Structure 1
């Protein structure tokens, strides 16, 4: 089963504060281990909302709002797609990653397969 993990920005992320070289190495080692084991199928972090835009749709109208956005902890900071045997396994990987990157929230969603949509 595939699960998508979405972690949220911290204020430090939104402010452009970079992790220390030691922390980056630790994160890289963990992510590389997941990739080598076949668990991590894809994953990326995203930059501050000041480099993005938001589209809002109402009654057929589209409004484009340029970043930055006010509430950092409500913004996606990155994602990963994992291939695991269960939600419990996805939760365990998310727990380890959250502690490693010091985030307060990660959402986990099962990726829909074609049989899920029938």
Structure 2
């Protein structure tokens, strides 16, 4: 039963990763058009010198965090609320779903690993 539960959440996490890969391939231009000259992406040019794929992944990850938690970015002055509203709704939904699927996967995998550790410790202790 534990293994089945772990596989279900692993599959959900992989769906989140697949959505993120799709966004890296298809949505970067839409994101750059929605955030022209934004302070949030000042490091984007540095990453493009290293690797185009790494830069795109960094950009999409930043956008996902801005969609999920916009207020800290707005308070720091890195994001204008109008810029966030100009982001296409399809990109916003994909970022939201990808972020929460991967966060759920991470949380459940931590709990699963903790459960395995405690179960093994109890077996060894009370044998």
TM-score normalised by the chain length of structure 2: 0.26
Report the structure, 1 or 2, having the larger strand content: 1
Larger Rg: 2
